[in-house]
Structure 1
């Protein structure tokens, strides 16, 4: 038997060190080729580190949250044969085996790199571990989505037996636990829903969550935020959307409201170039862009991501719709390329049906404007002395007051309002 050492890879862009975000294995686990071992975080990307070999984990090279130099030993694996451990590697002090740390609860990916993992091959994963009793301080393996699901259901993960690789708890394990609880309830032994709870869970702020926290704090500290809210009557544009979908939906695809909003941004920005800009506050330079690269906030299993619709000024409604759909699918599946998640000049953010009445979106630096979309509601409105039911929607937008004057921001949103309330004007050149 030999030892195969995996070093922290050179991810590119001149990066000399990266943060170890999360381990997917622990000492003693059997791993297979292409199985993801760890997630590492650069300033711009979360990257999966796969195993190039089959073997058994001997030691882990750091704790989640630790910053490691490129080329340092990440993990050592016992393999059949000689392995690749060199004399120079043996001079590096191997860390003692560390206890598994809690998985990171990820939220928003700011920018992501192509995933290094290629073929996890479920058929060759290690067999599930036999049921074992966990210590009170032992943290079970589970993805952020499973952890949230368990929290919503009121299930303590330490009581659930995992059936995934290395005992990882899966969604179906939660279902099985609930089913067992239902059986107990029929026997009169289910715990009361009003029973006191004393459990706690501490989540380290590391990896992507740390980057997001840093960026949000930086945005609020460096930019002079101000928000402007206006209500818009979207009855006409919604009627147009329904008509176009009925006429062309089967051949061109269905339209949501987003392509109309993107088109409204493009047309309005022609008269407000100072808003389609990025501000380098260190160099004290404002760059106004002719191209409109619209970042569209997209919810994924790992949090909020912002893929970029490039050159929106040159796209039709259906072209924008197709690109938004393609990028959203790529973001949600974790397959969005790095250049698809960077370079926006203005951002559009929406919570859809959960959009509420008013929001105060945080700027996506170095951009100077973000347009927030709230939900559409039917309300009685007075038009020419008559009470009529109209579809109304608020735009809650934020701007960087260092670059954008309040009057210009208000006029910009009013321009968008006029375009959406008279949707024919979106297409008049």
Structure 2
């Protein structure tokens, strides 16, 4: 028998380090060749690292959230025959705890020093009140169908704290209902009723790791390096909405449902050739702006882990329904954590939308190294004066941010006005593009 030291491989071109997201093995586990050992994250993409050999796990280097440089020791395995040896006095880790459920009155997360201590019987209501607080060891993920995951996301319920009553602990819809009710039985275990409203106490330390840390770093770098300015314009989308609803009714179930985004993408494709400095990426280290003929549209997408930007490439080649289908598939892959590195990089301009929650106006942060981002606000009916008459129109604000190092205010305003004209006169979206 020998020890095999497996080091963190290069998981992408130019990658210097990666963050441990979740372990799929524990100390003492027997692993097969090509079995997944760990998930690591780099540049918002999560990558599964398989074992190069079969063996038994002797040590794991790093907890979830740990940053490791490429080439660092990742796992030590005991293998048959010769292997890459590690010192005999290498420290041994403690095996992971087994999956357990504890009552809601169990010890809460660690308190920040100086925070008032809660009474012994305090129930921690700041967290969505679970029926059972489930503790899962690193690498053990809650299992649930996509429909259950989506419902949990809509309800704001973190699945890692929900006990599942299905086969092998699978979380079902009824488990979410029990979780919300705060009183039920799961697997024959009685759960205390939800407490009546009372004063809340407690402060939790929440490590910023994984995708949340990547988002924080990206936003910080964008605001640090880019002098943002925003331009907001209202757009009358009454005619566009009538066309969209008509096309959806005609398409029925045979075509993807059209949202506003495919029309906005088409407007960008028509407007950007006149403003090449906006469809660009700025390498501020080299002081070079790369302008693109192709339009690769990043679609900001909210996922259970945070905001990611999957990329629809060459949208200038897509019709409305192809664009709608591509957006839907990429958004689903991002929400399910299946989007790869190539699907989450390379955008030349980004669109962000909060849908019905879009508010009146936003000041979106540019997706660096791009130089512009287009923000869609919600569509509302409101009175508008047209030729002295008051009419009810469907109105929407478009909130755009630009990198003032690359885009002048006049050019930004002219670009948004061109997009406005195209959206307000939707027939122009389908005219032949001037050569």
Query: TM range, normalised to the smaller chain?
Result: 0.7 to 0.9
CA contact 1:36–1:51 (8 Å) conserved in 2: yes
CA contact 2:233–2:398 (8 Å) conserved in 1: yes
Q: What is aligned with 2:412?
A: 409
- Higher alpha-carbon deviation: 381-390 or 317-326: 317-326
CA distance, structure 1, for counterparts of residue 412 and residue 431 of structure 2: 23
CA distance, structure 2, for counterparts of residue 29 and residue 171 of structure 1: 32
Matches for 1:215-254 after TM superposition, within 5 Å: 215-254=218-257
1:45 Cα offset (Å): 2.9
CA distance, structure 1, for counterparts of residue 238 and residue 319 of structure 2: 21
CA contact 1:33–1:54 (8 Å) conserved in 2: yes
Normalising by the residue count of structure 2, what TM-score does the alignment of the two structures yield? 0.76
1:236 Cα offset (Å): 0.3
Superimposed CA distance per residue, residues 62-98 of structure 1 (whole angstroms, 9 cap, x where no aligned partner): 23333324444423467xxx54773x43227634425
Gaps of 5+ in 1: 102-127
Query: Compared with structure 1, are the counterparts of its residues 54 and 182 closer, same or farther at alpha carbon in structure 2 (3 Å cutoff)?
Result: farther
Normalising by the residue count of structure 1, what TM-score does the alignment of the two structures yield? 0.77
CA contact 1:228–1:396 (8 Å) conserved in 2: yes
CA contact 1:129–1:165 (8 Å) conserved in 2: no
1:58 Cα offset (Å): 4.5
- Higher alpha-carbon deviation: 274-283 or 4-13: 4-13
* Secondary structure, aligned partner of 1:231: strand
Q: What is aligned with 1:140?
A: 135
1:246 Cα offset (Å): 2.4
Gaps of 5+ in 2: 111-133, 143-148
- Higher alpha-carbon deviation: 160-169 or 15-24: 160-169
Query: Compared with structure 1, are the counterparts of its residues 287 and 8 closer, same or farther at alpha carbon in structure 2 (3 Å cutoff)?
Result: closer
RCO higher in 1 or 2 (8 Å CA, sep ≥ 6)?
Answer: 1
CA distance, structure 1, for counterparts of residue 256 and residue 156 of structure 2: 35
Query: Compared with structure 1, are the counterparts of its residues 129 and 385 closer, same or farther at alpha carbon in structure 2 (3 Å cutoff)?
Result: same
- The partner residue of 1:320 within 323, 327, 347 is 323
Matches for 1:10-409 after TM superposition, within 5 Å: 10-13=10-13, 15-23=15-23, 26-27=26-27, 37-43=37-43, 45-50=45-50, 58-76=58-76, 82-83=79-80, 86=83, 88-91=84-87, 94-97=90-93, 129=99, 140-141=135-136, 152=156, 157=161, 175-176=177-178, 181-182=183-184, 190-409=193-412
- Higher alpha-carbon deviation: 346-355 or 11-20: 11-20
What is the aligned residue count? Answer: 394
1:44 Cα offset (Å): 5.6
CA distance, structure 1, for counterparts of residue 215 and residue 394 of structure 2: 35
Name the structure where helix makes up a greater proportion of residues.
1
CA contact 2:212–2:306 (8 Å) conserved in 1: no
State the superposition RMSD in angstroms: 4.0
CA distance, structure 1, for counterparts of residue 416 and residue 100 of structure 2: 60
Q: What is aligned with 2:123?
A: none
1:380 Cα offset (Å): 1.2
CA distance, structure 1, for counterparts of residue 37 and residue 86 of structure 2: 22
